[in-house]
Structure 1
Amino acid sequence: MKLDYCKDDMILKVYPTVSACFEEAFSLMKKHFWMLILIIFVGAAIETPMWLMQQTKPSADGIDFTFSFLQLIQVVYYFGIATVYSYGVIHVFTKVARKKDFVFEETLLGFRTYSRVILSRLLVMLVVGLGLILLLIPGLFLACRLVFVPYLIMDKKHGVVDSLKISYYMTRGYFGTIFGMGILSFVIIILGLVLLGFGILISLVWINTAFAVFYNAAEDLHYIDACKEADVVPEEKEVA
């Protein structure tokens, strides 16, 4: 972590860096290693039907309505099940970053905020997609600045628009860090693939833990200020 002296508070504040987040994550994931592997494995199993549907090719003659119907099912399945489960996974990894215990059933908590989960994913994809259409850099920039949206939905229970605004302010000054974490995550995934199936599960556990560590550090440092800038009432911090 990068240390920064804060004259106003007369204390040393800890700022997250790429290496520090992954180092801390590697240490934290050991305690719940097999449960986290199971959670990621279930997530992969949930996404398998989407992968299988992608292998279906349209007919060369005219419009293949069956293929179009499968595409529709794939989209509904992605947003209605896979995305919702992924938000529950984020909730669990946030607890790991805070050194709190959890149970597997907490991966299903995304279904309690079903509409917010789906709307937030749609809105983030729309915003980032527009940025990518305009130019590549704006899309990457927005993707990094909105990385905390799922965490704010699950951790702070904010609305969709408020989560986007708070995430944008919370990640100010961290574009390089988030982009660097994305690059390192890609490298870790490639290394995981070299170790076949089990290696990719370990890689995904490590990456999810690292991003949860990053969110937890940024939340401690910038959440209140981000809420003020976004004109949003902050949620009270959960008592351990």
Structure 2
Amino acid sequence: MELIKEERKPKATLSGSYRYAWQQMWKYFLYLFLIAIIVGVSESPTSILKQTENVDPTATALVLQLLAAAYMLLFLPVIKYGADLLELRAIRNEKMDIVEIFDGFKRKYLNIILANLLTFALIGFGFVFLIVPGIILACRLVFVSFLVMDKNMEPIAAVEKSWEMTKGHGWRIFGMALFAIPVIIAGLLFFVVGIVISLMLISLAFAALYHAIDSDPNDDLLIDES
């Protein structure tokens, strides 16, 4: 019986990114599962904003909305950017330290917050006027968090670099986002654990694509030759 050979590098394709992400997810499952739990717990306070949107605008509700908005802008991005870095380490087979998910509060904090605000504003601006520009911007700026954390780039430089890196990959990124829909549906069939695994796989797939393009931006068929 022939054993399936483990891939050492992802291909810069939809199938290659998801396949490599699937391989690495099981290789570092406990680390990645804990990261997903931390991100999930960190996102839970944002439900306060949604719960108070449709109630009477009392002083208490307004204060809760302001606190939730501040949390979403000044705290949550740091956790998410840290998670992206750790997922990239899993893709690269690098040493992972869970506490690094909080490193953004000590280092790069301003760059993370400003990069997140700039990306959100650009994508939001695109969606306000026409849906298509918003989708294009969302696809082309998908690597901003990786560039801030991995390359220590400042916000504007990260946005410009992401735009450059994703040139020629826009449809592929859009396809990966669409493919995430059936992945999530499949996860829902297995309830809570299934949806967590689905979200882990999707995040890792984008990290794999970033790694593939970053390793050799001129080669769409990166794969181990040994």
TM range (shorter): 0.7 to 0.9
Determine which of 169, 172, 176 is the counterpart of 1:177: 172
Matched, 1:108 2:102: yes
Match of 2:6 in 1: none
Partner of 1:76: 70
Cα deviation 1:36-61 (Å, max 9, x = unaligned): 1111011101111111442235544x
Contact 2:48–2:64 (8 Å) recurs in 1 = no
User: Within 1, Cα distance between the matches of 2:201 and 2:11?
Assistant: 20
Q: Which has the higher contact order (CA 8 A, sep 6+)?
A: 2
**Seq. identity, %:** 34
Match of 1:158 in 2: 153
Structure 2 residue 143 is matched with structure 1 residue 143 = no
CA contact (8 A) 1:189 1:203 kept: yes
Using the TM superposition, give the Cα deviation of residue 35 of structure 1 relative to its aligned residue in structure 2, in angstroms: 1.6
**TM-score normalised to structure 2 length:** 0.87
Counterparts in 2 of 1:66 and 1:188: CA distance versus 1, 3 Å: same
Task: Work out the CA distance in 1 between the residues paired with 2:190 and 2:108.
Answer: 36
1:110 CA displacement: 2.1
Please state if 1:96 is matched with 2:96: no
Q: Distance in 1 between matches of 2:70 and 2:14?
A: 35
How many residues of Structure 1 are paired with residues of Structure 2 in the alignment? Answer: 208
From 213, 222, 237, give the equivalent of 2:217.
222
CA RMSD of aligned residues (A): 1.6
Report if aligned partners of 2:48, 2:68 keep a CA contact under 8 Å in 1: no
**Match for residue 19 of structure 1 among 15, 27, 34:** 15
Q: 1:205 to 1:215 in 2, by over 3 A?
A: same
Deviation at 1:138, TM superposition (A): 0.3
1:67 aligns with 2:61: yes
CA contact (8 A) 2:21 2:201 kept: yes
Between the aligned partners of 2:54 and 2:90, the Cα distance in structure 1 is: 43
2:206 paired with 1:201: no
Q: Which moved more, 1:25-34 or 1:183-192?
A: 183-192
Q: Distance in 2 between matches of 1:53 and 1:130?
A: 22
SS at match of 1:129: helix
Corresponding position of 2:52: 56
One-letter amino acid of the counterpart of residue 135, structure 2 = L
2-side partners of 1:58 and 1:167: how far apart? 37
Whole-angstrom CA distance in 2 between matches of 1:86 and 1:15: 25
1:43 partnered with 2:39: yes
| Higher fraction of strand | 1
Matched residue, 1:226: none
For 1:101 and 1:207, locate their aligned partners in 2 and report how far apart those are by CA, in whole Å: 21
Q: TM-score, normalised by structure 1?
A: 0.82
Structure 2 unaligned regions, length at least 5: 1-9, 219-226
Q: Which runs of 5+ in 1 are unaligned?
A: 1-13, 224-240
Moved over 3 A (4+): 57-60
Distance (Å, rounded) in 2 between the aligned partners of 1:58 and 1:66: 13
The SS at the match of 2:111 is helix
